[in-house]
Each structure stands twice: as C-alpha cells, then as structure tokens.
Structure 1
C-alpha cells in the first residue's frame, strides 16, 4: 500500500489537545477517509471522493517526499522554509522494515498562517528548479513534476483555507 500523507484540519479550540496528541484529530482510517470508504473497509466500492470536504482533509498520497525536498533546507547551515514543517517527517520502521509507525505532528493556527504565506510564494518555476536533479537518475520525469506541482497546488489551497478559518491542522505520514 505504501506510505502516504494526510492532513486533518481542526478548530482553534482543539489546539492544546491536538498539540498534546495529534492522533486525536486524525481520522481512525485516513485511507478510507481519502478514498470515500467506510473506516476499516476490507472490500468496497467507491468513486474515490473524499469522505471529508477538501477544507478538512488534505490527501497527498505519495507526493509528500517531493514537497519535503522542495521545502527542505538547501544546505546544513540554511534554514528550512516555513512550509517544511508540514512535510519534514519520516515514518519509524519496525520489525526489520516490515511495518512502520506513522510520523504525526499538529500545527497550531499561528504556524498555519506562516505556512500559507510560504506556500503562496512558491511558483511553478521554483518547483521545477527545486526538484530537478533530486532523483537518482538526475532527471525528474515530466509526470513526476506535474504530480508534485498539482500536489503543491492542493496543499496550498488546503492550507490557505485552514489559515483563513483560523484553524490548525495535524498531519500524518504513514
């Protein structure tokens, strides 16, 4: 199935609870939420529309490593972009790599506003420049660039809406 990225918005009055335990605001079955299935599904039919509105759930599937690289510090002495806080995590592998524990983080409304401004400042040329040469072959495929660009645009829309509402969000890589 693979490691995927999800972000769930929460109301500002839930900030302390979310910061103490981000899993309290993350759905019990994020893949089901993202694909429009019942939590705990084993079989089902779906039209692949999210169960939650796009203002409440951001699903980036497997695009998060591209956005992580794009927003990461360019060198060891450079500062990360504000948007990096929503992409910087890694899962913790267990059982000799057969399972993993997700990485989770909650971001309070004040941080979401900074992230929204930062994401707005990244244009398509920045994406191409920031991701070119970041893969093992040295060449990013056009389809990968298009996937990363579309994902950044979705992330930008989600974070802008969350910031406009004065909410925070919890993200999970897992």
Structure 2
C-alpha cells in the first residue's frame, strides 16, 4: 500500500496531552478516515471523501516526501525551512524488512503559526527547484511539480485554518 501521511488538528486545550502522546489525537484508522471508509473495514464502498472535515484532517497520501524534500535543508550544513517541522520524519523498518513503525509528532499551536507563514512563501519556482535533484534528468517533470503543488495547497489550507483557530496538529507517517 505504501507509506502515507496523515495530520489531525487538535484544540489548544489538548496541547499538553498531544505533545506527550500524539497518538491520543490521531484517529484509530487514518486510511479509513482519509478514504471515507468505516474504521477497521477490510472491504467496502467509498466515494473517497474524507470522513472528517478538512479542517480536522490533512491527508497527503504519498506526496509528503516531495514536501519534505522541498522544505528540508539544501545541504548538510543548511537550515531547514520552518515548514519542514510538519514533514520531517521517516518510518522505521522492522527487522523483517516488510513492516515498519510509524513516525509520529505533535506540533503546538505556536509552531503551527510559524509553519503557516512559511508555507505561504513557497511558490512554483521553489517547488521546481526543490524537486529537481530527485529526478535523473535533473529537472522535475511538470506532472510531478503539479502533483506536489496540489498537495502543498492542501497543506497550506489545513495549516492556515489551524493557525487561524489557534490549533495544533499531530501527524503520522505510516
């Protein structure tokens, strides 16, 4: 199925709890939440609309590595963008090589405000430059730039709303 990204917003009064244990604010079945399925279902019919409002759940599917790369430090001694905090992380593969343990983090409302400001400054040229080193041709294909830009817009909307409402969020890469 692949490794995916999910973020769940929480109200400011849940910050201490979420920072101590981010899983307390993350849904029990993120894929079901993102795809509009019944939690725990192994089969079903869906229209692929999230079961939670967009202000509460951000689903970046498999686009998160592009956004991670776009906001990461450009060199080993470089500094990451503020927005990198919401994309940072990797799953940890188990010894069997077939399964993995998720990366989970919670971000407090004050962090979300900084991330929202930074996301607003990223433009199409930044996306092209940030993705270019990932492809053999040296340049990111337009389709991949468009894919990353579409998910960046989703991330902007989610984070903008969370910042406006004084909310934090916890995310899971799994």
Does TM-score exceed 0.5, indicating one fold? yes
Instruction: Provide the rounded CA distance (Å) in 1 between the counterparts of 2:41 and 2:25.
Output: 20
User: Residues 39-72 of structure 1, C-alpha deviation per residue, up to 9 Å, x if partnerless?
Assistant: 0011100000000000000000000000000000
Instruction: Provide the rounded CA distance (Å) in 1 between the counterparts of 2:138 and 2:92.
Output: 27
CA contact (8 A) 2:4 2:62 kept: yes
Instruction: Provide the rounded CA distance (Å) in 1 between the counterparts of 2:79 and 2:161.
Output: 26
How far apart are residue 135 of structure 1 and its match? 2.6
CA contact (8 A) 2:128 2:139 kept: no
- Residues 70-109 of structure 1 mapped to structure 2, 5 A cutoff: 70-109=70-109
Where structure 2 has 5 or more consecutive residues not aligned to the other structure, the ranges are none
Instruction: Provide the rounded CA distance (Å) in 2 between the counterparts of 1:14 and 1:121.
Output: 29
Instruction: Provide the rounded CA distance (Å) in 1 between the counterparts of 2:36 and 2:57.
Output: 12
User: Residues 1-32 of structure 1, C-alpha deviation per residue, up to 9 Å, x if partnerless?
Assistant: 11000000000000000000000000000000
Q: Residues 20, 34 of structure 1: CA spacing in aligned structure 2 closer, same or farther, 3 A cutoff?
A: same
How far apart are residue 136 of structure 1 and its match? 4.1
Instruction: Provide the rounded CA distance (Å) in 1 between the counterparts of 2:90 and 2:100.
Output: 10
After superposition, the CA RMSD in angstroms is 0.9
Size of the alignment, in residue pairs? 174
Instruction: Determine the structure 2 residue equivalent to 1:122.
Output: 122
The runs of at least 4 consecutive aligned structure 1 residues that moved more than 3 Å come to none
User: Residues 109-164 of structure 1, C-alpha deviation per residue, up to 9 Å, x if partnerless?
Assistant: 00000000000010112111221122345332221111101010110010000000
Instruction: Provide the rounded CA distance (Å) in 1 between the counterparts of 2:171 and 2:96.
Output: 25
Is residue 2:53 matched to residue 1:53? yes
Instruction: Determine the structure 2 residue equivalent to 1:38.
Output: 38
- Structure 2 length-normalised TM: 0.97
Instruction: Determine the structure 2 residue equivalent to 1:159.
Output: 159
